[in-house]
Amino acid sequence: MKVVCVGGGPASFYLSILLKKQEPRHEVSVLERRPAGSTYGWGVTYWPDMFEELTECDPDSAREIAGSSVHWSEGTAHIGGRTVTHPGGVGHAIGRHRLLNILTERAEALGVRVEFGSEVQAAPDPSEADLVVVGDGAHSQLRDRHAEAFGTRRTLGANQYIWLGTTRVFTSFTFAFVETAHGWIWCYAYGYSAHGSTFIAECSTATWTGLGLDRLPEEEALRLLEELFAGQLEGHPLTGRTDTGGRPQWQNFTTVANTSWSHGNLVLIGDAAHTTHYSTGAGTTLALRDAMSLARELRNAPDPAAVPSALAAYAQERQRALLPAQSAARLSAQWYENLARYLDLDPHQMFSLLGQRHSPLLPHLPPRLYYQLDQTLGRLQALRWLKQRVGSRLASTLQSHHAERAGSTTAD
Ligand SMILES: Cc1cc2nc3c(=O)[nH]c(=O)nc-3n(C[C@H](O)[C@H](O)[C@H](O)COP(=O)(O)OP(=O)(O)OC[C@H]3O[C@@H](n4cnc5c(N)ncnc54)[C@H](O)[C@@H]3O)c2cc1C
């Protein structure tokens, strides 16, 4: 089978690896418009369950990814002048450049043809590809050419954000909320290597224009952010993207969704198919899971004639699996858009509700009431757990006591 993957992001590369692994006779190519090693972005997060899936699918690349990742196990929030730290689950991050280098090398080693500097504007001729994988990201040109057939929908977030890097290495997942004369501005920051961290700044449009961030030349805007977040950056600079050709780097996040994921021999994957708000740190994981699912379904398609039903099964599985992530991402974006609801809470309470921002109930209850209910429920759960543990220990002690007595009675 001939497979052409358009776009050299994590989704396309991972799919190309899995397809070549399961059938080395497939002719698989990846066409990426940028030059080699020049991808955008900083670090991306992922969680232990993703790592297990990667290991199962391709232990070689999983090992490399683990070796190039950092991890953290607590979150820190700076709210106004106060700092709160909460323990959390283990999270991992890897530089996007490094991740793509690993995947490119692995794909090439398996025989995938990789062409950098190759911009695709229209679908390749059907004689050149049994399957065209549309993996060219959230602003996919190929998808947009067939937007009606895919049923593409876009929703623009209300807040402004910018994706930056810094040489300050954050060792916990860090949030900072800073009050200015024009309203609040905040950042999420996390290390992705021994040398750098991702730093995303976000604020409402009113704060953005009030601070002049809509008009300031980029360098001045970065210096202003460095001043606002001086307490967290500790003298380290912020760096913007160098590949935007002068386009502004502040954006409103676009949530993309598609009703159909395939059209003729085209199939959507990764951000071209769906995006989830960056505050949930899930986009790369979801893109990789799309690749795993599509490869699995194509394994059951022995020839090109069987591909349409494999594509339908893939779309059905992934659309269903994505629902919780999409709902969490929507609620997470809304939490930040409605930040004012949480700002007069005690910092511990606010940080706790930040961790609960995916809850569908939270937007409908007064935050203090929600917090109290959550604490009470937590205590009740702890009590229930204690009761179960103590109860089962007591039961097993009594059982062995009876058994001993029974044993000694028999021996007597
Ligand atoms: C601010 C921000 C922070 C994020 N943080 C995280 C995070 O912490 N964790 C996480 O999991 N996810 C994160 N994400 C999301 C993540 O970056 C994406 O979900 C992920 O990269 C999607 O992978 P993909 O392969 O579908 O697309 P992409 O990674 O976007 O790759 C698409 C590729 O296609 C290429 N391309 C585009 N057009 C063409 C064309 N016409 N011809 C050829 N090539 C083309 C592009 O150059 C690009 O290399 C974040 C996103 C943002 C915006």
pLDDT digit string, tens, across residues 319-358: 999 999 999 999 999 999 999 999 999 999 999 999 999 9
Contacts by 243-249 with C-beta closer than 8 Å and gap 24+? 243/34, 243/38, 243/40, 248/218, 249/162, 249/163, 249/218
Is any ligand 1 atom within 6 A of the Cβ of residue 228?
no
* Position 383 confidence tier, pLDDT thresholds 50, 70, 90: low
Asked if residues 308 and 315 have their Cβ atoms less than 8 Å apart, the reply is no
* Pocket-testing residue among 18, 120, 271, ligand 1, by greatest number of atoms within 8 A of Cβ: 271
Contact 287 CB / ligand 1 (< 6 Å): yes
At residue 411, does pLDDT exceed 80?
A: no
The residue whose CA has the least distance to atom 20 of ligand 1 is: 284
**How much of the chain, in percent, has pLDDT values that exceed 70?**
91
- pLDDT above 90 for 403: no
Distance CA 133, CA 262 (A): 9
Cα-based angle 340, 344, 349 (whole degrees, multiple of 5): 105
Q: Which of 381, 354, 379, 380 is nearest to 367 (CA)?
A: 354
Per-residue confidence at 393, pLDDT binned at 50, 70, 90? low
C-alpha distance across the termini of the chain, in Å? 78
**Confidence class for position 410, pLDDT limits 50, 70, 90:** very low
Burial (CB count <10 Å: 0-12, 13-18, 19+), residue 368: middle
Judge residue 37's burial from the number of C-beta atoms within 10 Å of its C-beta, 0-12 exposed, 13-18 middle, 19 or more buried.
exposed
pLDDT value for 220: 92
Whether residue 302 is predicted with pLDDT greater than 80 in this model: the reply is: no
Looking from the CA of residue 121, the nearest atom of ligand 1 is 41
27/38 Cα distance (integer angstroms): 25
* Measured CA distances, 235 to 79, 195, 228, 318 (Å): 19, 15, 12, 44
Contact partners, residue 317, CB within 8 Å, separation at least 6: 293, 297
Looking at the predicted structure, is the pLDDT value of residue 205 above 90? yes
Residue 119 CA: nearest ligand 1 atom is 42
* Residue owning the nearest CA to atom 25 of ligand 1: 9
pLDDT confidence bin for 244, thresholds 50/70/90: low
**165 CB within 6 A, ligand 1:** no
- Residues 130-186: tens digit of each pLDDT: 999 999 999 999 999 999 999 999 999 999 999 999 999 999 999 999 999 999 999
Q: What percentage of the chain reaches a pLDDT higher than 90? A: 81
Q: How far is the CA of 380 from the centre of ligand 1 (A)?
A: 42
Q: How far, in Å, is the centroid of ligand 1 from the Cα of 99?
A: 12
Q: Give CA torsion, residues 244, 276, 287, 297, to 10 deg.
A: -140
Which residues are CB-neighbours of 232 under 8 A, at least 6 positions away?
Answer: 78, 168, 170, 174, 176, 187, 189
How much distance in Å is there from the Cα of 367 to the middle of ligand 1? 34
Cα 284 to chain centroid distance, Å, stands at 5
Mean pLDDT lowest among 37-46, 56-65, 191-200? 37-46
pLDDT of 61-100, one tens digit each? 999 999 999 999 999 999 988 999 998 889 999 999 999 9
Instruction: Compute the Cα dihedral for 43, 48, 49, 51 and give only its sign.
Output: positive
